């Protein structure tokens, strides 16, 4: 079967791969590139565990074909901390005990990051809306909502 070339920027570094046509971005990231931070929770677009940021927008990597991402700029949770320093969202998830099993966490953090990138001081309702495509079965959501609000406050204090 003919392989298809695809090139994109992943967490700041250039990636070039030959993939099978029809490969999802989730498969390409996990199986070809080795970034396993996006998780395959449903492959249906109903759980959000595979969420990544493509060209500044939140997307589901399980429903995105890798070859449609040629030239794109892609971010995943594994690229969020720089030189071992946690991103404020990651810090906030730790401080508010917002992770239990951790399977939904990378997707939640991606969804939250896009929100804070566009809306640095979100209301609770905006946080709820931003997380609404991501399923968590352990926490009951409240600690995650608190984590995002905490990160937003930390950001605004740093900016001030």
C-beta of residue 92 within 8 angstroms of C-beta of residue 148 = yes
φ and ψ at residue 91, rounded to 5 degrees = -60, -45
For residue 39, count CB atoms less than 10 angstroms from its CB and return exposed for 0-12, middle for 13-18, buried for 19 or more.
Answer: buried
Residue 74 sits in the site that holds other proteins (CB under 8 A) = no
Give whichever of 7 and 160 is closer to other proteins, judged by the CB atom.
7
> Pick from 74, 104, 116, 152: which binds other proteins (CB under 8 A)?
104
Angle (deg, nearest 10), helices 105-118 and 142-159: 40
The whole-angstrom distance between residue 113's C-alpha and the CA centroid of its chain comes to 8
CB closer to other proteins out of 9 and 141: 141
Contacts of 71 (CB under 8 A, 6+ apart): 7, 8
Give the nearer residue to other proteins in terms of CB position, either 137 or 153: 137
CB of 73 to other proteins, least distance (A): 14
CB-nearer residue toward other proteins: 13 or 160: 13
Residue list 28-67, contact with other proteins (CB under 8 A): 30-31, 34-49, 51, 57-60, 62-65, 67
x/- mask, other proteins, residues 129-148, rule CB under 8 A, reads: xxxxxxxxxxxxxxxxx---
Count of residues in contact with other proteins, rule CB under 8 A: 78
Instruction: Give the shortest CB-74-to-other proteins separation in angstroms.
Output: 13
Shortest distance (Å) from residue 159 CB to other proteins? 22
Name which of residues 13 to 32 contact other proteins (CB under 8 A).
20-22, 24, 30-31
Are the C-beta atoms of residues 10 and 54 closer than 8 Å to each other? Answer: no
Residue pair 39/76 in contact (Cβ under 8 Å)? The answer is no
């Amino acid at each position: 079967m003919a392989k298809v070339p695809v090139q994109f920027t992943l967490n700041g570094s250039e990636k070039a791969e030959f993939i099978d046509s029809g490969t999802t971005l989730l498969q390409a990231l996990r199986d070809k590139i080795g970034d396993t931070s996006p998780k395959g929770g449903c492959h249906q677009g109903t759980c959000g565990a595979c969420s990544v940021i493509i060209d500044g927008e939140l997307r589901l990597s399980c429903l995105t074909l890798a070859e449609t991402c040629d030239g794109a700029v892609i971010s995943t949770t594994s690229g969020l901390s720089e030189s071992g320093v946690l991103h404020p969202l990651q810090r906030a998830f730790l401080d508010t005990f917002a992770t239990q099993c951790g399977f939904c966490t990378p997707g939640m953090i991606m969804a939250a990051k896009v929100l804070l990138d566009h809306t640095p001081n979100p209301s609770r309702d905006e946080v709820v809306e931003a997380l609404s495509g991501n399923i968590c079965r352990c926490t009951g959501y409240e600690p995650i909502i608190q984590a995002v609000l905490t990160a937003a406050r930390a950001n605004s204090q740093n900016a001030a």
